[in-house]
Amino acid sequence: MTDRPVDRPLDPDLWPATTTVAADGSVSIGGVDLRALAAEHGTPAYVLDEADFRRRARGFREAFERAFGAIGTEVDVYYAGKAFLSTAVARWAVQEGLRIDTATGGELAVALRAGVPGDHIGLHGNNKSDTEIARALDAGVGRLVVDSLLEVDRVADAAAAAGVRAPVMVRVTTGVHAGGHEYISTAHEDQKFGLSIAGGQALEALEAVLGRPDLDLVGIHSHIGSQILDASGFAVAARRILELRARLAERTGHLVREVDLGGGYGIAYLPGEAPLDPARVAVEMARAVADVCAELGTSVPRVSVEPGRAIVGPTTVTVYSVGTVKPVVVEEEDGAFTRTYVSVDGGMSDNLRPALYGARYSAAVVSRDGGPGAVRARVVGKHCESGDVVVHDVLLPADVRAGDLLAVPATGAYGRSMASNYNLVPRPPVLAVRDGEVSVLVRRETEDDLLALDVG
Ligand SMILES: *Cc1c(COP(=O)(O)O)cnc(C)c1O
């Protein structure tokens, strides 16, 4: 046993790349002491390490370019904006050589406001509105990913009305479900996205696109899941898409030029978890694509991928202030123990994932070194909901107390982007830190913002 606090050292797979711990136990990110940041900007706050975001974006692009270059083709990396999008991060992604994926008119508007060139933007969505389709065509997006047979006609009609030829991809389901450590491979999928390869709807939609002169078929798209830690699902999905591509070519003479293998690359949320290594996945994916194309006797397509979580997730921590600390005796079969409920000034309104998916996180006190000893803690929010849990089970210093700053790492993806105003709690700001400077990417919501929507 050492007298090191139970929440040290901070696991480098969980915390942003520039995280440092001073001799007094206080934590800095991007050269900014979180105590000073909290004093100036308040809590809760999302703190995003700009250098780490850029490094991850660049790292993804370089790894995929290397792997797919080695099999003689090119690859585009689209940052999936739904994980977290603001004009600044869209610009950083583009500066690092990425393109931007959007799924709604709102995300498209942010990408356009950021100055992302239209042809470097993709638009997804299983239920796009006419306005969203028209806006995307007007912006000259590089791809609209159609998700149903009905949408083939809707996009074609919109393109005809606008006097343009719409670049479309067809989203297919490969029967590969992935998420977490395992993937499942079936023929059919019972979910709302995409058109089934096994059921024949994918081929039907591809042929329908080829039959419409207002549409330019640029690719076949698949996204197999999220938080994937087992790379083999991507290879199975790639095989099924490439076989579909070959079958379409046989029937129509049209060999689709691009294949998008989606996002879903998993990250570490808990100490000891190993994130999926982009360089390794890129090599495995490229090998699968090359092997299957060789087997089918087709040329290797251009490839694209759409990481969201793996780029922004680990770059961000949420900094909270601790309020109420309450011991609760919990009876279990093998005896009773005390769980310390540590309440923070946010909760399910700034991080919905634990309530939505049972997602697990870790936490550490970042304003000081904790004293010796540990308590078994549950970090909870301030909302009127017993499921308002931020961190289910974590060891914290025994002297954790009101006024401590507590940070939860790996909240960059699907944190602010899924935030709500439940209990009319204003949403926290997103603060970028870099080289000792803080810049506000998204400001804190105020009660005036909330009241402004209430028109009486
Ligand atoms: C959500 C989504 C992504 C990004 O997923 P991550 O798990 O954040 O990498 C990419 N493509 C599509 C179509 C998606 O729906």
pLDDT of amino acid 2: 54
Gap from CA of 81 to ligand 1 centroid (Å): 9
For residues 248 and 207, is the Cβ–Cβ distance under 8 A?
Answer: yes
pLDDT of amino acid 9: 93
Ligand 1 pocket test, pick from 64, 79, 82, 265 with the greatest ligand atom count within 8 Å of Cβ, gives 82
Q: Which atom of ligand 1 is nearest to 310's Cα?
A: 9
265: Cβ below 6 Å to ligand 1? yes
Nearest to 103 by CA among 130, 132, 77: 132
Cα 284 from chain centroid? 21
Q: What is the pLDDT of residues 342-383, one digit of tens each?
A: 999 999 999 999 999 999 999 999 999 999 999 999 999 999
Classify burial at 150, counting beta carbons within 10 Å of its beta carbon; exposed 0-12, middle 13-18, buried 19 or more: exposed
**Cα(351)–Cα(318) distance, integer angstroms:** 9
Q: What is the pLDDT of residues 27-51, one digit of tens each?
A: 999 999 999 999 999 999 999 999 9
The residue written with tokens 């995003």 in the block is: 48
Nearest to 375 by CA among 402, 339, 343, 409: 339
Considering the entire predicted model, what is its pTM?
A: 0.97
Gap from CA of 290 to ligand 1 centroid (Å): 24
Provide the H-helix boundaries in 211-352: 232-252, 278-296, 309-312
What is the residue extent of each domain of the chain? 20-49+314-453, 73-307
Nearest to 380 by CA among 366, 394, 397, 369: 394
Q: Which atom of ligand 1 is nearest to 266's Cα?
A: 7
Instruction: Give Dmax (Cα) for the chain.
Output: 73
Tell me which architecture the domain covering 73-307 has in CATH.
Alpha-Beta Barrel (3.20)
DSSP secondary structure string for all residues of 109-129: HHHHHTT--GGGEEE--SS--
**Cα(221)–Cα(203) distance, integer angstroms:** 13
Q: Which CATH number fits domain 20-49+314-453: 1.10.10.10, 2.30.300.10, 2.40.37.10, 1.20.1050.10?
A: 2.40.37.10
What one-character DSSP code corresponds to residue 382?
A: S
Positions of the chain with pLDDT lower than 70, given as ranges: 1-3
For residues 241 and 222, is the Cβ–Cβ distance under 8 A?
Answer: yes
Q: Which helix (H) or strand (E) holds 390?
A: strand 389-397
